[in-house]
Structure 1
Amino acid sequence: MYFANTTSPTKYVVRCKERSCPWRVTGTNQLNHERVKTFIPNHTCSLRLSGDDNPLVTAAWAAETCLGLFGRPEEIKPSLIINYIKLHWGIVISYRKAHMAKEIILEIKCGNAKDSYRILLAYAHELVRSNYGSNIHILRERELFRNRDDSFLRLFWAFGSFIRSLRPLVLLDGTHLRGKYHAILLVACAVDGDGGLFPISFVVVKNENDDSWSWFLTHFHRNIMSSEDKVITV
């Protein structure tokens, strides 16, 4: 496709590179507000616009087009992005490009992982301030390896209300965290009065190994079990 100006700078025509193809968009641009007047979505040319992916569409454009569709992060799905663009623009994009658009939308709405780690200390302070009895501990590279690297290594936290509801039986488990920085989430859970599970404390670590579990259980015993008179089975 190419951009062709018509009678004035406030009017535009975007049409297919193949001049015999009827696909085109016409509109106006006044005071930085664009308005589409005509849209002919059908291609009759030999360009690859109806295959698995339109090479002229970028992930950034797809993200901008679909940004207002989603209210919550869990609603953002590549399949919905693909279907919306195909339905409203008559353009097919690949799943990979739709997934890239999803990541762009998530970053716009939720921020990126790097910036989130930068405010970890502020989050820890606010968590303790607003949740009475909560405990949180952050371990950085320099504290473990005695160097100047101030980057995040491990995080332990437990909400005060969960600590006060501690039961005699504690269950331990771990799961992988998906995202830019792959990590492991270790969790200590208990059983409530209705037989359901509720979490007591959490730990984010780089790897699940004996050292990580030992660090977790040390803080668990020091900050939670030490304040309990009853016997707890882990």
Structure 2
Amino acid sequence: MSKGSTSIPIFLLCNYNDCTFAIKIDRNVTYDQLLDKLCLKWDSLQFDNICLSYSLLGHPSCTLDNNEELELLLALVVHFDSKCTDVVVRGKNSTIDYGNLNKRLDYGEKESMLELEVCDIALSHDNNKSVNLSNRASTSSNKNSRLEVEEKKFEGVIVEFRNALSKFSIECGFEFIFVKNDTVRVTAQCLFRETKCCMWNIHGRVKNANGFFYIRKLNNVHTSGAEVCTMNHSRMSSDLVADLIVKGVRDNALTRPVHVVQDFKWGYGLRVSYHQAWLGVEKTKGDIFGDYLMSFNQLRWYVDVAKSCNPRGYIEFECDDTKRFKILFVIFHDSISGFNYCRHLLFLDGTFFKGRLRGNLLAATRKDGNQGFFLVCFGIVGSENQDNWHWFLEHLSTIVLAERNITFVLDCNLGLVEVLPKVFPTAFRAYCLYHLKMNLRHHLCGIFHGLKEKMITLFGKCAYAPTEETFHQCLVELKIECGLRVEKFLDDIPYDHWSNAYFQGQRFGEIRSNVAESFNSWVRKECHLPITKLIDSVRIKLMRKIAKKRELVNK
């Protein structure tokens, strides 16, 4: 360590897995020696897999990776006149990582909450009552920008001010109550005004001329005692959570409440209940993506616009007798024209919606010339049953040329297996080998694991056998090993639907429905959205995919 650093020892409060360990260091301690002490304390840590970060006033996540940064830590401690500092210890592959927090929920810089872009007020603690205020519009271009005392306005109107005031009270560790709180004015005072004679108060109102909220009066001196920041605060609400995570949810529709709880704990040092996090996520999704119920009302309008913009496409929308949504079928013109020049092979599958309202997304996909998947059509139904599959396949038959012998690759869904021969009597059906193996594994429940895996391997050999003779040799071996349980399973699936030796159609080496599963993964985020937003998001992704292919062809 350089002599420019202090020789006065300081204490590092190292926290790992909710356990804190104090280490005394001075200018003679190196970074490697610090890691050695940590490894001796916690056996689960490895010397080359430790990631350290420390916190100082206004900066809760500073990196500590080498000797130079350790020197800087000592210098900063002297600058802030502190005798100790908190150090977070974690493995480099830990799931709780500030870098991961930024990817999952981009709350902005992991600085003091007053410095976050989402925190829109900073009230000075000086006795001269000076005040700096910032609003969301002003911080969008510069995170450190502030409005001077003469401005004191919030363009987000009164809701923005309430959220900013709550953030400020949480950051500074004091409590307040509203004396007046309506649609045009807000007056708040310290909770201990009566008991401790603290005269802190703030008052503001909406200006009729422009609709902005202006602070008219502020006494920013607290006399109620020391300010203490804790993990719990009465002003932490679902509305405040929603205001803080709005950018992260916009970037990632799969944001889960458990992630929000974890991120607030490790990023801000605040405890948020799961219910508050869930409500915050739902409110944010409603503001960004629209309300789930209203989305169904917008669906009829969206279908009419889509038909007018894509007249050569095929979109069908039906409601039941009570005018409630029943089913939707969508296929775009590019998918129709492209399918006529591709292999006679279609993959059928369905996936669940994961939003507030449940349903299923049925899809028919194919492979393109680069072995990638290409969406042919999709439908939205209430559940995956015979009637809905029959309706979906009937509309699919209107765009598939009757003279073409199509091969369908599908899982063993009972509704689909029964309906497909009725709509496409001349088509060939190939059952996905992966799903058959999963069904066999479930059928052999209770058998020794090693024997069960051997049975599944023999079943795969039967499916891949190129000739009938080889197929029956493998089949005899399979039945000898397991007996009646396998025979009962095989009786329900005809050989010509799953074995290469007996299959009559052309499936071009496709024995699994991986393409359909790839599509389900492709729309995984969209399945969390309201129905109208979901359809439009799939359309946009498909257009981008086609445009990208066109660019590759034109190079």
Provide TM-score, normalisation by structure 1: 0.74
Q: Do 2:352 and 2:358's aligned partners in 1 also have CA atoms closer than 8 Å?
A: yes
1:99 aligned to which of 272, 278, 281: 278
Partner of 1:198: 374
1:3 aligned to which of 150, 155, 177: 177
Q: Do 2:250 and 2:288's aligned partners in 1 also have CA atoms closer than 8 Å?
A: no
Per the alignment, do residues 65 and 230 of structure 1 end up closer, same or farther by CA in structure 2, a change over 3 Å counting?
same
Partner of 1:146: none
Deviation, structure 1 residue 94: 1.7
SS at structure 1 position matched to 2:369: coil
User: What's the RMSD between the two structures over aligned residues?
Assistant: 3.6
Partner of 2:406: 232
Is 1:59 the equivalent of 2:238?
yes
Partner of 1:151: 324
For 1:69-80, what aligned pairs fall within 5 Å after superposition?
70-74=249-253, 76-78=255-257, 79-80=259-260
In structure 2, distance between residues paired with 1:50 and 1:199: 48
Q: Larger % of strand: which?
A: 1
Q: Do 2:264 and 2:272's aligned partners in 1 also have CA atoms closer than 8 Å?
A: no
Which residue identity does 1:42 align to in structure 2?
V
The CA deviation string for residues 153-190 of structure 1, in whole angstroms up to 9 with x for no partner, is 11111111111111311110001011121001110001
Determine what percentage of the aligned residue pairs are the same residue: 21
Q: Larger % of helix: which?
A: 2
Per the alignment, do residues 190 and 55 of structure 1 end up closer, same or farther by CA in structure 2, a change over 3 Å counting?
same
In structure 2, distance between residues paired with 1:203 and 1:80: 33
Provide TM-score, normalisation by structure 2: 0.34
Deviation, structure 1 residue 207: 1.2
Is 1:211 the equivalent of 2:397?
no
In structure 2, distance between residues paired with 1:84 and 1:165: 48
Partner of 1:46: none
In structure 2, distance between residues paired with 1:4 and 1:122: 44
Partner of 1:176: 352
Per the alignment, do residues 29 and 158 of structure 1 end up closer, same or farther by CA in structure 2, a change over 3 Å counting?
same
Is 1:29 the equivalent of 2:182?
no
In structure 2, distance between residues paired with 1:216 and 1:92: 48
In structure 1, distance between residues paired with 2:192 and 2:270: 13
Unmatched 5+ residue regions in structure 1?
44-48, 143-148
Partner of 1:145: none
Per the alignment, do residues 186 and 38 of structure 1 end up closer, same or farther by CA in structure 2, a change over 3 Å counting?
farther
Per the alignment, do residues 99 and 11 of structure 1 end up closer, same or farther by CA in structure 2, a change over 3 Å counting?
closer
Which residue identity does 1:209 align to in structure 2?
N
Which residue identity does 1:157 align to in structure 2?
V
1:164 aligned to which of 321, 327, 337: 337
SS at structure 2 position matched to 1:74: coil
Comparing 70-79 with 157-166, greater Cα deviation is found at: 70-79
Unmatched 5+ residue regions in structure 2?
1-174, 180-184, 207-212, 409-555
In structure 2, distance between residues paired with 1:225 and 1:178: 31
The CA deviation string for residues 110-146 of structure 1, in whole angstroms up to 9 with x for no partner, is 111111110111111121222242111112112xxxx
Q: Do 1:27 and 1:38's aligned partners in 2 also have CA atoms closer than 8 Å?
A: no
Partner of 1:50: 231
Deviation, structure 1 residue 217: 0.3
Greater RCO structure (CA 8 Å; 6+ sep): 1
In structure 2, distance between residues paired with 1:221 and 1:16: 73
Q: Do 2:249 and 2:281's aligned partners in 1 also have CA atoms closer than 8 Å?
A: no
